[in-house]
Structure 1
Amino acid sequence: MYKSSFAAITLFLNSKFSSITNIYLNKLPAGFTRPSFFVQLIKGSSEDLNRNQYQNKITWQIAYYSPQDQNGNIDLMDQLGVTEQLHQALMEIMKLTAPDGTQYQILNLDAEFRDYELYCLLGLETLNTRTEPNYDLMQDIYNHYKEG
């Protein structure tokens, strides 16, 4: 579920922002390359819906790190522009599809500004169907019933 949803996010980011080639997962390395995206798992949960289905909800945090000038200042207009494009593109599609075919419904998208970076919280949901148990069926029934 987590690996598949991250793959769906990565596929989406690569298709919409092909010029930004670096996508980091859960930890930014020292001296990371800008511009880049940082994707971090915030939380995930599963809930039984009925005997055959369960629902997975996943929240990812996506941050865009814009280029810096020679003084280390970020390009705020670039950051706002890319984040706005990201937000609009996600709201237009309403679903992300992973390479394995799993579809994730976009539940919500929130943005917050902290530490001079703009973060997007992306809520995803998918429904899964449990595999039916496979039982050996009885082939022949012998009844040795005698009256009386």
Structure 2
Amino acid sequence: MRELVLPNDTNSHGNVLGGKVLHLMDLACAMVAMRHCRRPVVTAAMDNVEFLAPIPGGHFMILKAMVNHTGHSSMEIGVRVEGEDPRTGDITHTSSAYLTFVALDDLKNPVEVPELTPTSEIEKRRFQEASERAQARKKHRQD
């Protein structure tokens, strides 16, 4: 997903607003989650949000999202945001996060999602790390 950072999206320093980045992260990840389960989804959690570098107005925001893990009715989607200078083509990793979505049936009740089967080494690593984050989230909810 790509977005041009317009003046209305920037703060007093001329960089994209953090809230705008969070909004687009949620949208990009929701689309990935819906494509995975072919159902409506709701955002359940946003974890490990990191803002690493600003994206100036006039630059492109590039959002890359993918399913890292599936549970019974939930999915973790990882998102990486990059900024691209349209004049030079230079790309910088600017932020990242993990979002958890729950799939819903027609009555808005949680419903089972298709299992994710990682095949490549990087997919297996992401799946394992996401599984550990899911356990930590579950423990946090119980505390």
TM-score range, shorter chain: 0.3 to 0.5
Structure having the higher helix fraction is 2
Q: Structure 2 length normalisation: TM-score?
A: 0.34
Q: Structure 1 length normalisation: TM-score?
A: 0.33
Higher CA-based Rg: 1
